Structure 1
Amino acid sequence: MSGTRLTGRIVIPGSPSYRQDRQNLNLSIQKYPCIIVFCQNRCDVKNALKWAREHKTPFRVRSGRHSYENFSLVNRGLIIDVSEMKGIVYDPQKQMAYIQAGAELGMVYQQLWDNRVTIPAGTSSSVGLSGLALGGGIGMLTRAFGLTCDSIEEIEIVIPCETRGAKVICASQTKNPDLFWACRGGGGGNFGIATAFKFRVYPVANVSIFSITWNWEDFHASYNSWQKWAPFTDKRLTSQIELFASGTITASGEFLGSPKELQKVIKPLLETGTPLNVMIQSIPYIEAVHFFNSPGGNRPVSFKRSGSFVYEPLPDKAIETMKQFLENAPNQQTTIWQQALGGAVMEYAPKETAFFHRKAIIAQEYNTSWMCKEQKQENINWVEGVRNAMKPYTKGDYVNWPDRAIKKWPCAYYGSNYKRLRKVKTAYDPYNVFCFSQSIRPYWPL
């Protein structure tokens, strides 16, 4: 047996920080790895992958700890954690950012903002860039600049080789283009371990934001107005709507233009129902990042989430279904959240990258959390109930919002792209080294 040694910061069950270091954000699924390796560089990643293969030890890859189903954890195995690889370098000549896979979004946004540039990405500041980008990546600049994966120019990734080996390769439009295609929407942990990205960046200064809140009496009117407008309006505006079980509806968004222009753009919402609160203002981009950051998404809690895509405006019956589920929610923190797509997302064909749901107009997420173990099943049942009830009006699910209850997950996440993803898997990981309950499978076990 080869003498490969684990390198990096190593944590085991007896370590003082083990309890904290093993924990992901979703407290409802507890797992107990025997070793956690916090890699400091690509060599540590290579050594960890080689060590796992040599010792035939199950392993998972982790970055920001946001895996909804805790697919980045494993019992009695090895966690290869890249969260301490946080380097960010901006090249003003090439208008590119070189970002290591463990960087959190909050840090990425702040350091790029110091140079008055950014990338289109998510809203929770503690999300790891790697997992977000590999699954697609949606956020408040999506309609203007596309998904996070659309701005990737190159990926550095550690893949298995030979019987027990590992090597570092690059994937781009010209180097390993099939792997590059798969890594833009094919999900994390399927083909290898991403260690760094090269991103195309966009100049940014002030942006305009808005927020409008309605009472429950305006549920149908406010939602209907938003869904028929948000995915089709000026692509400089990305907006979201959240339907709260507590009895309110809030639409908000970020616009690359002046408040005066924004007021004209959101006129359909302003004329809907009886808004309780209306806010429109211009702020520095980094303040908008903080405004849309969801603090609840950054704290460990027991939760269940799932999602789907909307391809055409929902009929009244579907809107009423959402309303009834929220009126019978297990707690007041339960919500249905939606973000408008369209715009730059649709500038790519569904087969142009691994992210299949290009033609969807809305990404929809069902969210609930709980404090006591006794409430777990009730909350899970609610999420699965609303997802199933909405099936006649929706399609698939977003791979970054995985749900173990989805039986036909390959079709739900990847649509007709799954066959090509399996070919890429067979080419780069034929022995299925990277494997978990909803991982892409090769065409044959060699």
Structure 2
Amino acid sequence: MEMTKLTGRIVTPNDVEYRMARVNNNLSVPKFPKVIVFCQNANDVVNALKWARENRIPFRVRSGRHSYENFSLVDGGLIIDVSEMNKITVNCEKMTAKIEGGANLGHVYHSLWKYGTTIPGGTESSVGLAGLTLGGGIGMLSRWFGLTCDNLLEVEMVIADGHRGAKLIKANRNHNSDLFWACCGGGGGNFGIVTSFTFKVHSISKVSIFSITWGWEDFEEVFDVWQHWAPKTDERLTTEIELKSKEMNQIIAQGEFVGDSSMLKKLLRPLTDTGSPTNIFIKEVPYIDAVQFFDDPSGNVPSHHKRSGSFLEEPFSKKAILTMKHFLANAPNKNSNIWHQSLGGKAGEPDPKDTAFYYRDAIIAQEYNTIWNKPDEERENLRWVEELRDALSPYTTGDYVNWPDQFIRDWPRNYYGENFTQLREVKTSYDPFNVFKFPQSIPPFIRWF
């Protein structure tokens, strides 16, 4: 039988492009693949998966390079990279967009803006739409338009076929509906390789944005007011608050309101009346300007970092707030922070079992972040994140699968809650040989063939 050949743009360690092609956003977990194939179309993806299976070589799937634990890289194996598959087709009559699996958020937002439309997604422009969507997808429009996956209509995906093959299939609410359910929060790389998504899009023109800054002395009061207000305010307003280290002496709340600035000013009174704000910024802008406002350039630059997270289903007690304050007063470096985004609204309407994204009852998503420059600083930074997560665990639940953490002991329950068993059933149906696997991939149930 003739062996399959790799097609697409192929990069190996002998090529000058290899160094840049190998690197992901997290430099702290380096991996050195044997081959990287930048697929140009779905046929290249099929060939890459067949080639990996025929040659019995380990492989990983990659699009935006933002896998926090670099699960999209593997030593000595094949990287199936879809980032050069990024075509976008908008149907204004049906208000839908077909987006290839390698498109990043910056490209998506700017392309859809030409038609006065958007989808709710994250904020960093270089993040891949695929990973974001497959894990759920939270961002500055979540409370008004839902999670990214809530706006998904269909996926086209290359899956493993038989013992050595690969094939392209579709999944939506009527066809392969169990796989479609799993693609709405079940995490990237578990079931196959998405070559395209079809989304419903929303009309958008102007929005209002805000930023309010306080000093360290307002820490407890500001966070307490924000956490009680943010998940319950007007659904058109999604907000975030970043608690920075004591050394940085800065607390920043920001957000986006699908409405005018005069209304936003009224909605913000609980925040602007709290503590002693050092800066208050409120402005009505074209939507694409809001996209650029929230895009943190530093988040798009590869660095040595550690992330983890959790969800809040009820506001923090004073003791929990003081726990955060203690850790930020004793942070390993000034760039350590705890970030929160408000949920609720449309993001909280589905039942936890309606999609694979389980944490519909959460009112806040919480992320723990640290970044460092020197290799000998790694241990201290890793320890800070893990000790912080453990200290807050009595007050939090789970973790967002798009913020994976290799040190989480019961990761299936933390990422997927009570949906894990159903996700294993889907895995068993579509990938019974566990072809798509990585350290925290969903395992199939054992079948005797």
**Contact 1:432 1:445 (8 Å CA) reproduced:** no
Residue 339 (structure 1) aligns with = 341
Distance (whole Å) between structure 2 residues aligned to residue 155 and residue 366 of structure 1:
31
Residue 221 (structure 1) aligns with = 221
| SS of structure 1 residue aligned to 2:229 | coil
Residue 206 (structure 1) aligns with = 206
Residue 315 (structure 1) aligns with = 317
Residue 378 (structure 1) aligns with = 380
Residue 362 (structure 2) aligns with = 360
Residue 417 (structure 2) aligns with = 415
Distance (whole Å) between structure 2 residues aligned to residue 29 and residue 216 of structure 1:
33
**Contact 1:214 1:275 (8 Å CA) reproduced:** yes
Q: Report the Cα offset of residue 262 of structure 1.
A: 0.4
Identity of aligned residues (%): 59
Residue 393 (structure 1) aligns with = 395
For residues 21-67 of structure 1, what are the alpha-carbon distances to aligned partners after superposition, in whole Å with 9 as ceiling and x for unaligned? 01001001110000000000000000000000011100000000000
| SS of structure 2 residue aligned to 1:304 | strand
Any gaps of 5 or more consecutive residues in structure 2?
A: none
Any gaps of 5 or more consecutive residues in structure 1?
A: none
Q: Report the Cα offset of residue 187 of structure 1.
A: 0.3
Q: Report the Cα offset of residue 247 of structure 1.
A: 1.4
Distance (whole Å) between structure 2 residues aligned to residue 294 and residue 406 of structure 1:
27
| SS of structure 1 residue aligned to 2:283 | strand
Write out aligned runs for 1:195-274 (5 A).
195-245=195-245, 246-274=248-276
Q: TM-score, normalised by structure 1?
A: 0.99
C-alpha RMSD of the superposition: 0.6
Moved >2 Å (runs of 4+) = none
Residue 437 (structure 2) aligns with = 435
Residue 131 (structure 1) aligns with = 131
Q: Report the Cα offset of residue 4 of structure 1.
A: 0.4
**Contact 1:2 1:54 (8 Å CA) reproduced:** no
Residue 304 (structure 1) aligns with = 306
Amino acid at match of 2:415: Y
Q: TM-score, normalised by structure 2?
A: 0.99
| SS of structure 2 residue aligned to 1:228 | helix
Amino acid at match of 1:166: A
| SS of structure 2 residue aligned to 1:53 | helix
**Is 2:204 the partner of 1:191?**
no
Amino acid at match of 2:15: S
| SS of structure 2 residue aligned to 1:106 | helix
Q: Report the Cα offset of residue 2 of structure 1.
A: 3.8
Distance (whole Å) between structure 2 residues aligned to residue 330 and residue 296 of structure 1:
19
Residue 282 (structure 2) aligns with = 280
| SS of structure 2 residue aligned to 1:390 | helix
Q: Report the Cα offset of residue 445 of structure 1.
A: 5.3
Distance (whole Å) between structure 2 residues aligned to residue 167 and residue 94 of structure 1:
28
**Is 2:105 the partner of 1:143?**
no
Amino acid at match of 1:270: T
| SS of structure 1 residue aligned to 2:421 | helix
Q: Report the Cα offset of residue 295 of structure 1.
A: 1.1
For residues 115-152 of structure 1, what are the alpha-carbon distances to aligned partners after superposition, in whole Å with 9 as ceiling and x for unaligned? 11000000000001100000000000000000000000
How many correspondences in the alignment?
Answer: 446
Residue 69 (structure 1) aligns with = 69
Amino acid at match of 2:406: R
For residues 287-317 of structure 1, what are the alpha-carbon distances to aligned partners after superposition, in whole Å with 9 as ceiling and x for unaligned? 0000000111100000000000000000000
Residue 324 (structure 1) aligns with = 326
Residue 54 (structure 1) aligns with = 54
